Amino acid sequence: MTGRIYAIGDIHGQLGQLKNAHRRIAEDRARVGDDGAQIVHVGDLTDRGPDSRGVLDYLIEGQANGQPWVVLKGNHDRLFYRFMDDPCWYDPAMMSELHWLDPRLGGATTLASYGVAGASEEGRAEAHAHARTCIPEHHLTWLEALPLTHEADELFFVHAGVRPGVPLSRQVEDDLVWIRKEFIDDTRDHGALIVHGHTVIDEPTHYGNRVNLDGGAAYGRPLIPAVFEGSEVWTLSDAGRVVLRPDQAR
């Protein structure tokens, strides 16, 4: 692989953090003289943070204006548009049966960003009816149509991870947006370097067979972008590139 590609982990309604990550990427592009490399966003655009609506507006507008942005679907994005289809829906792939409006999932903060205040699981029907009057339909159709994966040479971008031992071409959506322990605990080569989010860690980390970019922006930590060139990986700070090596895995 010889190309350059950027990636951003779970955003979770943090519009300011997202714009800061894009600023760091723009600065890196200026340093290397590249304004055309793709930026892959690995999903979980919504929930928990304060401005899910702003994040979707920003990404949709950027794509419409020709930005080379790839946006993948995460489990929280699926929970959002499926709630809008059916307010009583529970995701069968979730290990614990939680409704999207349970405070642990953060759906109420997404609805609040559209002007639907005080949403709760007990009042889901009322929240849903109000949301139908506030949420642009094109936000929901855009979310539902998001791709699940993106391949670039020897990189495989996905939200949660992959089912070990299953060819990348035969992975299923439930695993791609929800898998955790079976993937996280597996140290084998998956046929490509898997770049993912979903499982919160302190900072982006390279584990040899995968790179986890979910540094906890959902909980107020910085959203740190990464850049991939060949077998080399860096995170981007305000001071520039910081090499990310497999031997740094903890």
- Residues 150-204 have pLDDT tens digits of 999 899 999 999 999 999 999 999 999 999 999 999 999 999 999 999 999 999 9
Q: CA–CA separation, 212 vs 203, rounded Å?
A: 8
- % residues pLDDT > 70 (the chain): 98
* Contact by Cβ (8 Å): 238, 31: no
Q: CA–CA separation, 104 vs 12, rounded Å?
A: 13
* Block residue for tokens 């690995």: 42
Confidence bin at 1 (pLDDT 50/70/90): very low
When mean pLDDT is compared across 12-21, 71-80, 125-134, 240-249, the lowest value belongs to 240-249
Q: Kindly tell me the burial class for residue 244, based on how many C-beta atoms sit within 10 Å of its own C-beta (0-12, 13-18, 19 or more).
A: buried
Q: State the pLDDT at residue 35.
A: 77
Confidence bin at 30 (pLDDT 50/70/90): very high
Q: State the pLDDT at residue 3.
A: 87
Confidence bin at 51 (pLDDT 50/70/90): very high
CA dihedral 106, 219, 72, 101 (to 10 degrees): -10
DSSP secondary structure, 136-178, as one string: -HHHHHHHHH--SEEEETTEEEESS---TTS-GGG--HHHHHH
Q: Give the type of residue at 65.
A: N
Domain boundaries, the chain: 4-248
Is the pLDDT at 2 greater than 60? The verdict is no
Query: How is domain 4-248 classified at the architecture level of CATH?
Result: 4-Layer Sandwich (3.60)
CA dihedral 188, 189, 191, 193 (to 10 degrees): 120
Instruction: Note the pTM of the prediction, 2 decimals.
Output: 0.95
Average per-residue pLDDT for the chain: 95
Residue 50: name the closest of 13, 105, 17, 77 by CA: 13
